[in-house]
Amino acid sequence: MALLEVEGLRVSFPTEDGVLEAVGGVSFSVEAGRVLGIVGESGSGKSVTALSVMGLARGAQVSGQARLDGRDLLTLAPDEMRRVRGRDVAMVFQDPLSSLHPLHRVGRQVAEAVRVHQDVTRAAARARAVELLGEVGIPEPARRVDAWPHELSGGMRQRVMIAMALANEPRLLIADEPTTALDVTVQAQILELLERLRAERGMGVVLITHDLGVVAQVADDVAVMYAGQIVERAPAATLFAAPEHPYTWGLLRSVPRLDAPRERELVPIQGRPPSLLHPPGGCRFHPRCPHVRERHRHVEPPLEPVAGDPRHSVACLLDAPTRRELRQGPVA
Amino acid sequence: MSEPLLEARDLVRHFGAVPAVDGVSFEVRRGEALGIVGETGSGKSTVARLMLRLLDPTSGTISFDGEDITAARGRRLKALRRDMQMIFQDPYSSLNPRKTAGAAIGEPFAVHGLHTGSGERRRAVQELMERVGLAPEHLNRFPHEFSGGQRQRVGVARALALAPRLIVADEPVSALDVSIQAQILNLLRDLQRDLGLTLVLISHDLSVVRHMSDRVAVMHRGKVVELADADTLYRAPKDPYTQALLAAVPRLQPSSASGASSPSSS
């Protein structure tokens, strides 16, 4: 049994203009000690997926299952979920400044995270906070424990957030764009830290990002989301070497890459992501897909394993030989 | 080689006691795309504003087309504004929410007293819209009715309105989704080629800068630590900071080959 098993997750928000279905039935699993990257653009549903699993999607109608060690988190009462959150599953967000309390010293915030779930003295919690700050690579933790959030750099603040998330040794860490606000050299350090924690603690990690490079570097498995659905899922190496979905091809062809010739042309994806109030019928990518056929406008493609590789699934109505032909060798 | 279009000499700009730009010299050659890359606090955006005379340098000089413009004021500065335009990161905050796209794009004409007939101005605006890939029906739409990519097209059209010779684009695609970034990058590239524009691209994104630039300057703590042809700089970076920066960029080639099954490709 996987650490986290999400099945048929649907999340919708009632709005003045109708029901907005942010997540339209996604299923995935995360093994202990592995990193699942969820990649997508704004409005793809990747963040709402994570928030719903954490019981933090306010005002949302959530259905489906999200089983942590077999226990469905979506059916837990709010106070039960509060006990799970932080202890069994923890989350790290993009912007550490807005998630830290500006008027409390960072050590106190980490210590409080410890005391929410553990019956320890203030002194013991503080000692644990120093330990945690050291563990996430903050130099001189015994001194920094008394720093104010604004005295720390963005990278250091993100380390504090990770220390708080680790306070109760969760089995699963969900990181939502944890490095998007950071400089590239700092990003590299934070990704290295996540990688080390995963290896040392055998934590499962869900890494949500729009950045294909980050996914390629850190994730073991990747799910590509588009308009509230997973359109492709595979081990990272497979996804980048042999992507099957036209949207994945589009993403890969539209980003400049340091490992491709400089003069390589960028091929943008035409149009823009659909409104989730009125998602297109059939395949949701069909209005932007260069390979659309008449049938794709009204038949919804299921997410199915690719022939010969049970770990690689794709939701595309094109048949396999056609896709292989269209992909034209390596997308790189 | 002909004289550079813009030349910065020993530029310094302090904010309080802190030097944001600390002795920067470079030239922008006619028709080239010069990339300026750096992290937060490197001084790259301050350099952009100094070049365009949106900020005054504490010391140093800026020449445009052979003329020292460091102290240009009044009418001379207004004329310079026609020659040098800026494209900003966030097209939403740089557009007036109560002005239609047509009004926003035509505004520079009004400011500079160009195309004064209403029919003539409308035609000029429509030409610009076509140029940047906006449809005629977008003319009367407001910023909130546009996607991020379309708003950036409005921003580009506005920058092009006065037929400038130099465009400085400060993080023009950072606020856009991945699939939209390429649309705007390709547009900027086409415009540069077709109109013979000189482009300065400021970005934190090393891949974007490499793709777009003929030459690249790397900034760190207010200084240019390295400036070279894009090919040379990315192939054989000399400065240790440039090397560290390049090493930190995640590559799309995944590190592990666990369970790769690549049928026809590889």
pLDDT of residue B116: 86
pLDDT of residue B261: 36
pTM: 0.91
**Band of residue B266 on the pLDDT scale cut at 50, 70, 90:** very low
Q: Which two tokens stand for residue B262?
A: 């690549």
Residue B204 forms contact with A (CB below 8 Å) = yes
The 10s digit of each residue's pLDDT in A170-213 is: 999 999 999 988 899 999 999 999 999 899 999 999 999 999 99
The 10s digit of each residue's pLDDT in B220-250 is: 999 999 999 999 999 999 999 999 999 999 9
In the predicted structure, residue A91 carries a pLDDT above the cut 80: yes
Check: CB of residue B258 under 8 Å from CB of residue A221: no
pLDDT of residue B263: 36
- Partners of residue B9 on adjacent β-strands: B61
pLDDT of residue A1: 82
Tell me if B252 and A212 make a contact (CB, 8 A cut-off). Answer: yes
Residue B29 Cα, gap to closest chain A Cα (Å): 20
In the predicted structure, residue A330 carries a pLDDT above the cut 60: no
pLDDT of residue B87: 93
What residues of chain B lie within 8 A of the CB of A265, using their CB? Answer: 186
Check: CB of residue B85 under 8 Å from CB of residue B169: no
Of B182, B254, B256, the CB nearest to A254: B182
DSSP secondary structure, A11-56, as one string: EEEEETTEEEEEEEEEEEEE-TT-EEEEE--TTSSHHHHHHHHTT-
Of A241, A253, A259, the CB nearest to B251: A259
3-state secondary structure A236-299: HHHHHHCCCCHHHHHHHHHCCCCCCCCCCCCCCCCCCCCCCCCCCCCCCCHHHCCCCCHHHHCC
Q: Which of residues 167-186 of B touch A (CB under 8 A)?
A: 177-183, 185-186
C-alpha span between A115 and A129 (Å, rounded): 10
Mean pLDDT on A88-101: 84
Residue B45 forms contact with A (CB below 8 Å) = no
Query: Which residue out of A184, A269, A275, A324 would a mutagenesis test of the B interface target, given it has the greatest number of B Cβ atoms within 10 Å?
Result: A184
Give Cβ neighbours of residue B91 (< 8 Å, ≥ 6 apart).
Answer: B143, B148, B151, B152, B154, B155, B175
Of B177, B245, B265, the CB nearest to A329: B265
Q: Which two tokens stand for residue A13?
A: 């928000």
- Angle separating helix axes B148-160 and B118-131, nearest 10 degrees: 120
Residue B107 Cα, gap to closest chain A Cα (Å): 27
Tell me if B183 and A259 make a contact (CB, 8 A cut-off). Answer: no
pLDDT of residue A96: 67
Mean pLDDT on B172-185: 91
Q: Please, what is the average pLDDT of chain A?
A: 93
**Band of residue B264 on the pLDDT scale cut at 50, 70, 90:** very low
Query: Which residue out of B177, B233, B241, B251 would a mutagenesis test of the A interface target, given it has the greatest number of A Cβ atoms within 10 Å?
Result: B177
**Band of residue A302 on the pLDDT scale cut at 50, 70, 90:** very high
Check: CB of residue B36 under 8 Å from CB of residue B217: yes
Mean pLDDT on A10-19: 93
Phi and psi torsions of A103, nearest 5°: -105, 10
Tell me if A258 and B251 make a contact (CB, 8 A cut-off). Answer: yes
Query: Which residue out of A46, A179, A183, A285 would a mutagenesis test of the B interface target, given it has the greatest number of B Cβ atoms within 10 Å?
Result: A183
Tell me if B250 and A191 make a contact (CB, 8 A cut-off). Answer: yes
C-alpha span between A254 and A266 (Å, rounded): 5
Q: Which residue has the tokens 């890494």?
A: A207
Residue B257 Cα, gap to closest chain A Cα (Å): 5
Mean pLDDT on B166-170: 96
Tell me if A255 and B185 make a contact (CB, 8 A cut-off). Answer: no
**Band of residue B153 on the pLDDT scale cut at 50, 70, 90:** very high
Residue B208 Cα, gap to closest chain A Cα (Å): 6
- B118 vs A248, higher pLDDT: A248
Q: Please, what is the average pLDDT of chain B?
A: 90
Q: Give the strand order in the sheet containing A61-68.
A: A18-30, A4-15, A61-68, A71-72
- Partners of residue B224 on adjacent β-strands: B219
Query: Which residue out of A210, A211, A217 would a mutagenesis test of the B interface target, given it has the greatest number of B Cβ atoms within 10 Å?
Result: A217
Residue B244 forms contact with A (CB below 8 Å) = yes
What residues of chain B lie within 8 A of the CB of A256, using their CB? Answer: 185, 207-208, 210-212
Q: Residue B54, CB half-sphere, CA atoms under 13 Å: how many? A: 12
What residues of chain A lie within 8 A of the CB of B175, using their CB? Answer: none
Which residue of chain B has the CA closest to A266? B182
Say what percent of chain B tops pLDDT 90. Answer: 77
pLDDT of residue B117: 86
- Angle separating helix axes A154-166 and A184-201, nearest 10 degrees: 20
Q: Give the strand order in the sheet containing B84-87.
A: B84-87, B166-170, B198-203, B33-38, B215-220, B223-229
Check: CB of residue A162 under 8 Å from CB of residue A186: no
CA nearest to B203, candidates B213, B194, B189, B193: B213
In the predicted structure, residue B265 carries a pLDDT above the cut 50: no
DSSP secondary structure, B184-218, as one string: HHHHHHHHHHHHT-EEEEEES-HHHHHHH-SEEEE
In the predicted structure, residue B260 carries a pLDDT above the cut 60: no
CA nearest to A303, candidates A238, A239, A244: A244
pLDDT of residue B2: 74
Tell me if A257 and B257 make a contact (CB, 8 A cut-off). Answer: no
**Band of residue B107 on the pLDDT scale cut at 50, 70, 90:** very high
pLDDT of residue B68: 96
pLDDT of residue A97: 67
Tell me if A185 and B208 make a contact (CB, 8 A cut-off). Answer: no
Mean pLDDT on B157-172: 94
In the predicted structure, residue A121 carries a pLDDT above the cut 90: yes
C-alpha span between B70 and B61 (Å, rounded): 5
Element (H, E) at A229: strand A229-235
CA nearest to B65, candidates B26, B30, B112: B30
Element (H, E) at B182: helix B178-195
Map residue A157 onto helix, strand or coil. Answer: helix
The 10s digit of each residue's pLDDT in B49-100 is: 999 999 999 999 999 999 999 999 999 999 998 999 999 887 667 788 899 9
Q: Residue A28, CB half-sphere, CA atoms under 13 Å: how many? A: 30
- A5 vs B175, higher pLDDT: A5
pLDDT of residue B256: 44
Check: CB of residue B234 under 8 Å from CB of residue A262: yes
Tell me if B259 and A42 make a contact (CB, 8 A cut-off). Answer: no
Say what percent of chain A tops pLDDT 90. Answer: 83
Tell me if A213 and B248 make a contact (CB, 8 A cut-off). Answer: no
In the predicted structure, residue B1 carries a pLDDT above the cut 60: no
DSSP secondary structure, B207-247, as one string: HHHHHH-SEEEEEETTEEEEEEEHHHHHHS--SHHHHHHHH
Residue A236 Cα, gap to closest chain B Cα (Å): 7
Of B149, B178, B183, the CB nearest to A255: B178
Query: Which residue out of A194, A231, A266, A328 would a mutagenesis test of the B interface target, given it has the greatest number of B Cβ atoms within 10 Å?
Result: A266
Tell me if A238 and B245 make a contact (CB, 8 A cut-off). Answer: no
